[in-house]
Amino acid sequence: MAEWSARSRREGRSVGFVPTMGALHEGHLALVAEARRSHPSVVCSIFVNPLQFNNLNDLEHYPRQLEADRALLLKTGCDALFAPQADGLFAGFVPTTYSLGAIASHWEGPSRPGHFQGVVNVVERLFHYVRPDAAYFGEKDRQQLTLIRHIAEQERWPVRIVPCPTVREADGLAMSSRNARLNAKDRQKATILYRALTVARELGFQHPIPAVEQAVAATLAQEPDVVLDYFGIADHDTLEPLTQWGDRSMAVALIAAQVGPVRLIDNLTLVR
Ligand code: PAF
């Protein structure tokens, strides 16, 4: 893979990279399309990374459909698919304990111990083999994106991290490979996450944060089967939890909840 990227660059074609865990949907394809806009060579990886699953059941049930994904990528302007096996990707590899800083200490961090170390370690391995000029990450996984930007800067990885907007279904549900595991009833209930976030967006900056949180809680109470893990409002850049708006002009509302068999996350940017 590294040789393919090196040749591409030698021939004057920069490399855009879309790392994924497969079960591709429109959200992934939008990342490929965005990479294609700036790079003559586009690589996508598919690897279900065991290091980032703190829940064995989630790892076992994570959707896998390599052949369908390959066919989809062929149609969407991706030039190369990197789909390594774990023993190849991690050959001779000793995991690093990265200094993740405060970004990882909230939201997904406490709920999924070890998750972000697993993400950063695999992203380092993928970058090592793919050697991209730029890598494209969805805002849907906002904390992952913020953290990878931070680590790339801290570790001086020679790659530009490009954020891309969340792609949503018509009813607002953020696209996610895990949505495929929702039955029809749970799929309907899952829309409450986006509805809760839009309440936060409507009330944000107009009312104190505790009042916004109360309104969101009232919205979530409409779907008692959806088990909230967290809802909160954070600084746009650091994701530090906020109790007051201060003088900032942007913030982020973040949510995670269990819907049937699936834990879903989502977020929305709030603008003053
Ligand atoms: O966002 C994902 O799909 C994964 O966390 C990533 C970045 C491919 C690392 O396994």
Which of 89, 98, 144, 149 to mutate to test ligand 1, by most ligand atoms within 8 A of the CB atom?
Answer: 144
Catalytic residue among 25, 28, 61, 115: 28
Report the C-alpha gap between 25 and 237 in whole angstroms. Answer: 27
Burial readout 121-139 (b: 16 or more C-beta within 10 A, e: otherwise): bbbbbbbebbbbbbbbbbb
Pick the CATH number of 179-271 from 3.30.1330.10, 3.30.1300.10, 3.40.50.300, 3.30.930.10: 3.30.1300.10
Q: pLDDT truncated to tens, each residue of the chain (272 aa)?
A: 888 888 998 898 999 999 999 999 999 999 999 999 999 999 999 999 999 998 999 999 999 999 999 999 999 989 999 999 999 999 999 999 999 999 999 999 999 999 999 999 999 999 999 999 999 999 999 999 999 999 999 999 999 999 999 999 999 999 999 999 999 999 999 999 999 999 999 999 999 999 999 999 999 999 999 999 999 999 999 999 999 999 999 999 999 999 999 999 999 999 99
| Lookup result for tokens 């893990």 | 229
Distance in Å, CA 177 to ligand 1 centroid: 11
Residue among 227, 225, 226, 201 at smallest CA distance from 215? 201
Nearest residue CA, atom 6 of ligand 1? Answer: 20
3-state secondary structure of 133: coil
Nearest residue CA, atom 3 of ligand 1? Answer: 20
Domain boundaries, the chain: 2-164, 179-271
Is residue 120 within 8 A of residue 98, CB to CB? The reply is yes
| Residues forming a β-bridge with 252 | 234, 269
User: Which CATH superfamily groups domain 2-164?
Assistant: HUPs (3.40.50.620)
Entry pTM: 0.96
3-state secondary structure of 239: coil
Question: What pLDDT is recorded for position 17?
Answer: 98
Report the C-alpha gap between 68 and 135 in whole angstroms. Answer: 23
Rounded (5°) CA angle 45-46-51: 110
Question: What pLDDT is recorded for position 138?
Answer: 98
Which ligand 1 atom minimizes the distance to the CA of 19?
A: 8
Amino acid at 37: R
Residue among 93, 115, 130, 111 at smallest CA distance from 231? 111
Is residue 136 within 8 A of residue 17, CB to CB? The reply is yes
